[in-house]
Amino acid sequence: MAFRAGALGLGLAVALGAAELAVRAAGLAPALKNQYGDNVADPILPFKPRPNSHLTGRNETNEFDYDYRHNRLGLRDVEHATSKPAGVFRILGLGDSFTYGVGVRFEETYLARLERMLNERAGDHPRVEIIKGGIPRFFPQSERLLLEHSGAAFQPDLIVVGFLPNDVADTHQGIGAIRVDPSGFLKTREADEIGRLGLALYCHSHLARRLMRDWLARRIREKYSPQWAEINKDNGFHEPDWQAVEREYATMADIATSIGARLVILHIPQMGPWDRTHDYPARRLGAWAEKHGVGFVSALPAIRRAAATAPPDRPLYYRKDGHCTAKGHAVIAGVLRDYLEGQGWIP
C-alpha cells in the first residue's frame, strides 16, 4: 500500500513537473507585472509605490524597458518642498498609470514635458513647478483622497486631473478592488481567496498562474462585469458610476476653491480605433465642467489627427500594453499647454 501511494505521488509529481515545463515552453502563463511590484499600504490611500524605491526591467508585453524612481512620498517625481517657494506657480497633476507615465522615461511624461514647455517660454514669468501625482490603478476616488490628504498641502495654483474611460470601470469595481500584498505586488480582492500558499504558487509556478488566472477572472466576472460599450451611453449600465465620478470631481473642485486653486479635467482617450461613440466622455465631462465652473480639455481630437498620420514604427500607443508612447505623451502635453495658455491661466 505504501509503495503504491509513493508510486502515485511520484507519478503525480512527474506529471505536474512535465505540465509546468510545457506551460513554460509554450509561454501560456500570464507574465508577472513586475513593473507594479513594489507598493506599500497607506492609512489613507488604497496603496502607493514604495517611497524612495527604484524599479527597472522589461515589461510583460516585451514592448519597452522601464525605469521608475519614486520620491519620499512614493510619487514618480523629483523631491519638492511642501511649502511653495516664493515666485513659483505650482501645478498638481493627478491621474492613473497614463499620468504616471508607464512605458516612457520620466522626462517624456506629459507632465514633465508640460513643465519644460511652460518654463521655456520667452519673456518674464514665474517658474512653473509641477507636482507629478499620477499613480497606476488610481481613479477619481483615490485621486481625490490623494488631493485631500497630501496634494493640497503643496499649495497648488492649478490642479490637473487626468481622466480616462477606464476610470468609470474602476469606479464600478470600487476602491477595494485592488490591494497591496505584503510582497509589494498589487492583487485583486478575489486573490485573497487563494491564500498565502496560492499566492506563492501564482508567483513561482507558471502552471498554477495559468490555472489561477482563469479562475480569478471568472470570479471577478461573477461580481463585477464592466460593460465597455455602456460607458459611452447616457443612462446606460454605468450611469451610477458616471455620477460617482462626477461627485468626486465636485469634491475636488470644492477642495481647489478652498485653497485658492483652479481645477482642470484632462480627457485622455484610451487606445483606438475611435468612432463617434468615443466622443461621449468628452461631451459629458465638458458639459459637467462648464456647469460647475471647472476647466476641461480633451486630447481626443489631437490624438486622432496625430494617429492618422503616425508612421507604423512610431505609434501613439503601445499596441499590446495600451499605454501611450513618448509620441502620445508629446501630443497630450501640447494640448494641455495650448489650452492653459489660451485660457490665460499660466502667468
Cβ atoms of residues 221 and 251 within 8 Å? no
Cβ atoms of residues 131 and 75 within 8 Å? yes
Length of the chain in residues, anyone? 347
CA dist 227 to 3, 42, 69, 241, 272, Å?
54, 30, 35, 12, 17
Residue 13 has pLDDT above 50, yes or no: no
The domain locations on the chain are: 2-30+183-223, 42-175+227-343
Using 50, 70 and 90 to split pLDDT, how confident is the model at 25? low
pLDDT in tens, 156-194: 999 999 999 999 999 999 999 888 988 898 877 766 666
Residue 12 has a pLDDT of: 47
208-222, 224-238, 294-308: the lowest-pLDDT one: 208-222
Residue 187 has a pLDDT of: 78
Q: Which three cell numbers stand for residue 190?
A: 478575489
Cα–Cα distance for residue pair 51/73, rounded to 1 Å: 5
DSSP for 186-226, please give it: EEEGGGGGGHHHHHHHHHH-HHHHHHHHHHHHHHHHHH---
Cβ atoms of residues 186 and 47 within 8 Å? yes
Residue 244 has a pLDDT of: 99
Residue 185 has a pLDDT of: 84
Using 50, 70 and 90 to split pLDDT, how confident is the model at 27? low
- For 196, counting Cβ atoms within 10 Å of its Cβ (0-12 exposed, 13-18 middle, 19+ buried), the class is exposed
Residue 298 has pLDDT above 50, yes or no: yes
Judged by DSSP in three states, 126 sits in coil
- Dihedral sign from CA coordinates of 210, 216, 218, 224: negative
User: Model pTM?
Assistant: 0.88
Judged by DSSP in three states, 298 sits in strand
Judged by DSSP in three states, 93 sits in strand
Residue 71 has pLDDT above 80, yes or no: yes
Using 50, 70 and 90 to split pLDDT, how confident is the model at 293? very high
Residue 186 has a pLDDT of: 85
Question: Can you tell me which residue has the cell 490623494?
Answer: 146
Nearest by Cα to 298 from 163, 172, 146, 207: 163
Kindly report the CATH number that applies to the domain delimited by 42-175+227-343: 3.40.50.1110
Cβ atoms of residues 163 and 266 within 8 Å? yes
Cβ atoms of residues 145 and 112 within 8 Å? no
